[in-house]
Structure 1
């Protein structure tokens, strides 16, 4: 009877273990919902599919990634709050979004801070960049996985006066978005900034109500501003970024191995986005030249020095950590 009892007990234990293993094996994949205002053809929309596909390769059956484009799940700008509430797992957020809650981050909305897509990567992968990421993690409970390149803003003018330094922009009526931060950037570039809705820019350029506008080259092409302008000055005055991010409520559910796979998938997605966007911008230089526009680079160092000095003495810069501009400038 003793041996029989032991046998029954052993069977119960083994059965329980088998049930436990079976339950683990068939556990439901973790649902990851990603919201973006981007349209399907945008590079930063397509990179989300790269992220999803990479996770399926490295962690088969562990994640159920659902991508919602065209702001169909959350309106643009509301994603950080949704992630903080736990209503959204992932999104691509901007420095402007972050600076609303962490004023120190407004440094990354300033002109001529980030010099290039490569510099952008180096800054945010540096110890300084990781400190800024940690602020977001601690104060917003959002984990930034990686930074992607969103494009460089250039000057697009209707006259053919050559622009080499900020002094050459004196008196130029430059359309800028209406917020005080954008207006300040236009002033810091040396121009006379004019607030104007985007939908009115083409006609304003056509009639001379404004002398120019600033946008990344793909926007200049899409809005056909090249039809009513004569030159593009490659000032690269704002190298914009988008941060692929995850709610800490979701991130904390991951195993260490899953966290590594998520991080690797984010890096691949960002690399895809950056390569595609940079290649597009390079092709567009020739496109605009073919349309008869002058396309050239001014004295970028003169612009950078002037703009940074303007920012350093501004109200905007009062929330920046001491010495941060010099630290970012020193990163190669």
Structure 2
């Protein structure tokens, strides 16, 4: 009888141990996976912000999320992220206005030159009723939810060989690299150059070999990607206050509890503030940095660029897709 009870206890203990072995992987898999894909290079603030996001979320919701950060477009190519999110193959990314404009044409207003004035204006526009209206349309049409707005920087021209640039006419014949969407290419042509599509990861070599004559990016991106090593001049056209939007797949978002949504949203806000503050601070210091690297830094006739670019947009089909009064509402936002 004693032997029988001992055997029974051993059998139950063994069974419990076996069940525990299976239970641990099941528990581990209960974490919500958050795969992040971005073309950003590691030194860029909008790459570093994802670590801030992960750390903030892990602190607020320990053990609830498995956040995986993929930089340098190693998971999905630049521009392919929204489609991947709609299919459920990706949870999070930072999406550009140009990417959003592919399915939400009214968003193309933010790909036009000289619309947003500065970072503060950007945050007020997207943090107010204009942003709320447009973000709802993005959610309805694209299946992604915008969590926060990031200041990517104010875009400037960066040329392989130095030349006198005062007006758009001075850029005639310049092969200016732009991201591959029609919105970016239109902007490049509106600036007076010949817009040339090229993936971000190929820009450095393109500048080095002469495949392209220049590229446009915010100054922090120029330093992070080391484009200053293969260029001679920066032209401060300040033609676009550039935005990135931290976005999450609706499939993922809708599966979260209310408490989880609040924590994810708060982490996105923390990440955006980190990015924005550091980008503004860095931009203020970079002109001197590039001069020390031997680059010429020039300010053209910005008024001439603004007048030409705006006229080009107003005469295009883009303006027809913008809701009536939207530009005026943006201009009136203080």
Structure 1 length normalisation: TM-score? Answer: 0.78
- Residue in structure 2 matched with residue 22 of structure 1 by the alignment: none
Equivalent residue for 2:327, pick from 319, 325, 328: 325
CA apart distance, 1:138: 1.1
CA apart distance, 1:292: 4.7
- Residue in structure 2 matched with residue 215 of structure 1 by the alignment: 217
- Residue in structure 2 matched with residue 95 of structure 1 by the alignment: 97
Post-superposition Cα deviations, 1:216-236, rounded to whole Å, max 9, x if no partner, equal 32454445557653x433221
- Residue in structure 2 matched with residue 175 of structure 1 by the alignment: 176
Q: In structure 2, do the counterparts of structure 1 residues 60 and 192 end up closer, same or farther at CA, with 3 Å as the change threshold?
A: closer
Matches within 5 A, 1:46-65: 46-65=48-67
Post-superposition Cα deviations, 1:245-284, rounded to whole Å, max 9, x if no partner, equal 1111111122222222211111110111122222332222
- Residue in structure 2 matched with residue 257 of structure 1 by the alignment: 259
Equivalent residue for 1:110, pick from 88, 109, 112: 112
Equivalent residue for 2:307, pick from 302, 305, 308: 305
- Residue in structure 1 matched with residue 86 of structure 2 by the alignment: 84
Pick which of 127-136 and 152-161 moved more: 152-161
- Residue in structure 1 matched with residue 194 of structure 2 by the alignment: 193
Q: In structure 2, do the counterparts of structure 1 residues 228 and 253 end up closer, same or farther at CA, with 3 Å as the change threshold?
A: closer
Q: In structure 2, do the counterparts of structure 1 residues 171 and 92 end up closer, same or farther at CA, with 3 Å as the change threshold?
A: closer
Distance 1:41 1:193 in 2: 29
Distance 2:272 2:259 in 1: 20
- Alignment size in residue pairs: 299
Q: In structure 2, do the counterparts of structure 1 residues 52 and 291 end up closer, same or farther at CA, with 3 Å as the change threshold?
A: closer
Q: Secondary structure at the match of 1:60?
A: coil
Post-superposition Cα deviations, 1:147-201, rounded to whole Å, max 9, x if no partner, equal 11223221345455362x556x375736243765444324433x34363754333
Post-superposition Cα deviations, 1:102-134, rounded to whole Å, max 9, x if no partner, equal 222222211111222222211111101111100
- Residue in structure 2 matched with residue 161 of structure 1 by the alignment: 164
- Residue in structure 2 matched with residue 123 of structure 1 by the alignment: 125
Q: Secondary structure at the match of 2:235?
A: strand
Structure 2 length normalisation: TM-score? Answer: 0.78
Distance 1:170 1:79 in 2: 32
Q: Conserved in 2, the CA contact under 8 Å of 1:31 and 1:64?
A: yes
Q: Secondary structure at the match of 1:32?
A: strand
Q: In structure 2, do the counterparts of structure 1 residues 227 and 68 end up closer, same or farther at CA, with 3 Å as the change threshold?
A: closer
CA apart distance, 1:213: 4.7
- Residue in structure 2 matched with residue 33 of structure 1 by the alignment: 35
- Residue in structure 2 matched with residue 69 of structure 1 by the alignment: 71
Unaligned runs of 5+ in 2: 1-26
Distance 1:283 1:201 in 2: 24
Q: Conserved in 2, the CA contact under 8 Å of 1:152 and 1:236?
A: yes
Post-superposition Cα deviations, 1:23-56, rounded to whole Å, max 9, x if no partner, equal xxx8933222222233333322211111111112
